[in-house]
Amino acid sequence: MQSLDHDVLENALAWRRAGRRAWLVTVTQTFGASPRPPGSLLAMRDDGILVGSVSGGCIEDDLVARRAAFAGRAPFLKAYGVTSEEARRFGLPCGGQLEVIVEPEVPVADLEALMAHIDAGRVVAREVDLATGAWRFAPAQPTDECERTDSRFRSIHGPRWRLLVIGASEIAHYLAEMAAAVDYRVFVCDPREEYRQAWRAAGATFVGGMPDDAVAAIRPDGHTVIVTVSHDPKLDDMALLEALKSEAFYVGAVGSKQTNAERRRRLAGFDLSAREIARLRGPVGLAIGSRTPPEIAVAILADLIAARNGVMLERVAQAPERRTA
């Protein structure tokens, strides 16, 4: 599984390589309530086939109907929802407005260059000259945002978040695949050879050494998540001792309430403050009655998304360890 942006660009590149006409559509700016944020991508083929979304389905039909009018190399800017009549017509929320940039005939070389940056795990800014359609790339930070001026549009591409998973378990397998779809660059650490041999989630990078070394190696910051799923206290605790002292945005551990209470008591015996231990999210994930590894991965990822978006959810007492995360 890969991120939606990667899927959009990959399809646009394949169509252009095959000699098909294709348009790249990006949300440049929004006002009020909007279905999709700036930077959201859509690829449109000459026969009306779409990959991606810029409005959740509200304006896509209009873009398909107008595609013949978007010609040449220079990009087009198109606003939607400017009037209440348009908002009703296109199904935008009350007061919601959005603007998109439509780029016809993006050169194959430009798409290849952007994909190379993303595949290398780099966060990159794509700057579009609004007069000529020319692209320019520059290094960017995960916290950078899209920007539209009178002369250029700047969008950010690449993995904006990092996830380090301790333990190459079945939970880790599904968590790694799902996390990639929501723009995490995934790292996995497990010194147990039998688990490394069984690992099969494509796209995740194995980090060598012991868990505490892995935490130190990735240098956690405010866009880093660390989750322990090995079910081996020796490995999980080793990572948590480093993670809870770091700048990681989110630190979590699987297990029941009892298991995590015991874990906190163990951690208190080391050089961690009460405040640092209180950062631990355990049992990790939302209490949705998850039983299987994929369900547990969904519960963990749902909590990560909520935390990332600043949504406060009531955490409910977890079921026994064998049934949930």
pLDDT at 89: 65
Q: Report the first-to-last Cα separation within the chain, whole angstroms.
A: 22
85 with 16, same domain: the answer is: yes
- 15 phi, psi to nearest 5 deg: -65, -45
- Choose one of 157, 175, 208: the last residue of a domain: 157
State residue 319's pLDDT score.
41
- Residue 222: CATH number of its domain: 3.40.50.720
Please give the pLDDT value at position 171.
95
Measured in residues, the chain has a length of 325
Average pLDDT (305-323) is: 63
pLDDT at 90 over 70: no
Who has greater pLDDT, 323 or 18?
A: 18
Is 220 contained in some domain?
yes
Residue 203 has what pLDDT? 81
**One domain for residues 166 and 65:** no
Q: If we measure between CA atoms, which residue out of 262, 287, 290, 293 comes closest to residue 277?
A: 262
Give yes or no: residues 130 and 210 share one domain. Answer: no
pTM assigned to the model: 0.78
**Whether 216 and 147 share a structural domain:** no
| 314 within domain boundaries | no
- Band of the pLDDT at 87, cuts 50, 70, 90? low
Q: Are 175 and 229 in contact (CB under 8 A)?
A: yes
Of 142, 157, 172, the last residue of a domain is 157
10 and 153 inside one domain: yes
Whether residue 176 is contained in a domain is answered as: yes
Q: Is the pLDDT of residue 131 over 90?
A: yes
- Local confidence band at 321 (pLDDT 50, 70, 90 cut-offs): very low
Q: What is the residue whose two structure tokens read 């795990």?
A: 121
Burial of 150 (0-12, 13-18, 19+ CB in 10 A): exposed
Q: Domain residues for 147?
A: 4-157
Tell how many helices (H) and how many strands (E) occur in the chain.
11, 15
Would residue 87 count as lying in a domain?
A: yes
Domains in the chain, number: 2
